[in-house]
Structure 1
């Protein structure tokens, strides 16, 4: 598929859209005042050790203390094995025997703060370059699992020769598969210099200082997003185009050749109706071309996706209608996960299928679509209830959490009381107030819809209440009030 990357830049915000054949697949947003922290290296100070949770809170100078789990505390492994290969076989040393309160540690952010949770840290430092990831504390040399197995041994041998003189671990990234020895050597030199700067800063700066900041979103586009299927990278700012081109020519010359400065009069995101797609991605309902639809609900614990046939009746029989709807939904669900950046536990409720071969085909297609994701995903088979349980690595806030906030009217519930329910709440509140106070008059201030109900259908009940408490009740409409808001004034 043809892929294009559109970059909309402004001083306060950078937006990057990955578009395939005119359809938005991914959206990445970085705001100047809310820049992500993943990849940043800090000189942290241990604020508290929690043996019961086998974790520690580390102060790195942010609003909330960051979180270090015992599994993310680095220590040299036997025979130079990478930690991921031995973590399950070697007994872990308790966290209280590895760190103590007041200790100063060099740590790296591996997960941004999400919701009320602080950033997650690791004491294993990794510095990403154009083609390599440098692990200064390790001696392990590895190759990305996305590279064909037949090439891995040869590439690993080349890397070992380049890395051996000065030590340090290296992992070859996917876009380094065809790199020459000179390109790999240049990347290693750049990464070693970056590590030298970090070490020098850690000796010079006080605790809670930033030692190393990862690349900006603009620069990460060239490092992480560009692939063989990328046709163009269009930037709507001349200044940023020049800066990005200079950066690309120095570190990523192949990606830099795809850069273009967009000079059109229309906003760059209007070319493929990107803003319309963003607006749709913030809603619950996703329409399918066949007439079916998805319902996406994101909660604190997990995300649920429900597939419905809707108005689709095009197949010869009911089983085929369900099968074709589910098959179409697999592509739409995978796209929505990328576009909305949904992570954690995800439950997909496909329409129930009687035939096993239909289930197998839908599951195989779903896994195929998930395989296009840059983020790690894992989908299980159909459960006894006909649900597909899956996980998607959560590395940053979802699109909805980044662009939206809970509704002040419904307080995040997604629903509000009916006007009649609010009028009955007001009746009960007036009775409660009448037992405690003896005002001359009660005045109800509420939304126009509630006041209208008092004057119309509930007027008889309002008159009866006024007679029962022996006090007049006046009404005042306030259009600024939400559906559930009201005030009872004692006069």
Structure 2
């Protein structure tokens, strides 16, 4: 089913909320949240400092989660109203002050989660609290005014900045969001008032209670979707749960009355993700290889430090010259790479290895296409440019784990390498294990159960098997079991030929 324009599809069932954003039928963003396991980014906690590491310019804070949160010195508010520096500050920047002069172990502080826990790392937190509304973000611990970079009209930026400076609360900061484009002061003021009341409640709840504890939980995925994504550029928002449909309508009436008519309820029996082919699109979004329409493809390799994207011509051979083939493939790949980065929510350092091009004009054009395509992404991305090796480097803000982590887990056999031991390596390991077992036990022989491919490889090399039996002076019997993984084996020591007969009789 093809839909032109921008569409938000919300599927709620089995205590799970799934949100898909489609543009002209293509899946561009996907979010998922369980009722029991909601996202943590934006949550505010009263925590206790458990460890201060001046050498790393960081501290670890217990906020009640499984892993202690990581507080970097740059994320500590230098305002004396938040931290008491005594006479240590003297107007100096935080990086010039010893961290132990700012915070101490055992100290209670209020922090907000910036990035969720990823892998072995705990959540990253900050004392720079931000409270997002529909049109503005309130920063109660900073005195600052900013305007969303996605508003590129300089005249509109200046207009909104003047409005923000006139209506911002004293000694607080606000950032004007993209949704405020074209809005007047009377549209922004209610937003600020609600957020100020929220901050007052948070400050009040700081005063008493056990530490660590949650002070404020960020809104649900459905609420954030309406607040942050459901803007005038969205043609429809379709939801298959009537109760939540009513809640969405009420919310939209409050924050964007003009969009109420674009909210639609779909029969709960209809599988919206199947109708719009979203499940199959998600399947493709977690694959390593992505095919381009021309026949070329890109390969996305994710490591802990960075993501590497390689571009290949594949089946595309072109019609003119090698340079033209490379150029056309790279242009198509640039669009698809921007799409995949946004869809997969890839963050951190990203390196792109485009096909080599000789003409500088072609290189410039590919970078322009990539930069333009990246502008569709709501998450901040910085295109650094070409490295000395001709690779394209960019960085993207990392907030939550990648899309793939919601559906995939590390392979227990390959440990994330994407490879398993060859049959010959598995056989060599079994031979060593047999040597160890026979040296420690009295036995006539052994029955070895292995995957069929390993059994076939072992039986094919009869000379090696006979040599093993001669060396060990034991009888070795091999049996294939298709239920075993290629790296798995089971070894049963045998006291005599009778044990072997029994084993085969009861198998």
TM normalised by structure 2 equals: 0.90
Quote the offset at 1:20 in angstroms.
Answer: 0.8
- Counterparts of residues 175-194 of structure 1 (less than 5 Å): 175-194=179-198
Which residue matches 2:306?
A: 302
Question: Following the alignment from structure 1 to structure 2, what is the Cα–Cα distance between the partners of residues 112 and 305?
Answer: 24
Does the residue aligned with 2:199 lie in a helix, a strand or coil? helix
Deviations along 1:420-468, one digit per CA (max 9) or x if unpaired, are 33123222332343334332322212222222333x3033322332232
Equivalent in 13, 16, 20 of residue 13 of structure 1: 16
1:38 equivalenced with 2:41 (yes/no):
yes
Matches within 5 A, 1:5-404: 5-76=8-79, 92-147=96-151, 148-164=153-169, 167-263=171-267, 266-404=270-408
Q: Distance in 1 between matches of 2:208 and 2:391?
A: 55
Residues 1:437 and 2:441 aligned together: yes
Residue aligning to 1:3: 6
- Give the Å deviation of 1:355: 0.8
Distance 1:229 1:161 in 2: 28
Tell me how many residue pairs correspond in the alignment: 481
1:459 and 2:457 aligned: no
2:491 to 480, 488, 491: 488
Rounded Cα–Cα distance in structure 1 between residues aligned with 2:223 and 2:447: 60
Q: Which residue of 2 aligns with 1:81?
A: none
Q: Return 5+ residue gaps in structure 2 as ranges.
A: 82-90, 495-507
- 1:449 aligns with one of 447, 453, 466: 453
Aligned-residue CA RMSD (Å): 2.1
- CA drift of 1:11 comes to 3.6
Pair 1:449–1:254, CA change in 2 (3 A) = same
Equivalent residues of 1:446, 1:476 under 8 A apart: yes
Q: Displacement, 1:313?
A: 2.3
Q: Write the deviation string for residues 283-310 of structure 1: whole angstroms up to 9, x where unpaired.
A: 1110100011111111111111111111
> Is the Cα contact below 8 Å between 1:23 and 1:272 reproduced in 2?
no
Q: 1:319: how far off?
A: 1.3
Larger deviation: 36-45 or 472-481? 472-481
For the residue of structure 1 that corresponds to 2:36, the secondary structure is: helix
Q: Distance in 2 between matches of 1:77 and 1:310?
A: 59
Aligned counterparts of 2:304 and 2:259: Cα–Cα separation in 1:
38
Asked if structure 1 preserves the Cα contact closer than 8 Å seen for 2:54 and 2:98, the reply is yes
CA distance in 2, matches of 1:317, 1:42: 60
Task: Measure the CA separation in 1 of the matches of 2:450 and 2:95.
Answer: 63
> 1:126 and 1:138 mapped to 2: Cα distance?
9
Relative to the length of structure 1, the TM-score reads 0.93
How far 1:255 sits from its partner (Å)?
4.1
* 1:361-404 deviation per Cα after TM superposition (whole angstroms, max 9, x unaligned): 11111111111111111122223322111111111000112211
Any conservation in 1 of the 2:240–2:270 contact (CA below 8 Å)? Answer: no
* C-alpha deviation, 1:243, in angstroms: 1.5
Q: Counterpart of 1:230 in 2: which secondary structure?
A: coil
CA contact (8 A) 2:74 2:94 kept: no
Unpaired segments ≥5 residues, structure 1: 79-86
Q: Structure 1's 175 and 26: CA in aligned 2 closer, same or farther, altered over 3 A? A: same
Give the SS at the match of 2:235: strand
Supply the distance in 2 between the matched residues of 1:263 and 1:111 (Cα, whole angstroms): 36
Q: Would you say the 8 A contact 1:223–1:252 is kept in 2?
A: no
1:9 Cα deviation (Å)?
1.2
Q: Distance in 1 between matches of 2:306 and 2:171?
A: 43
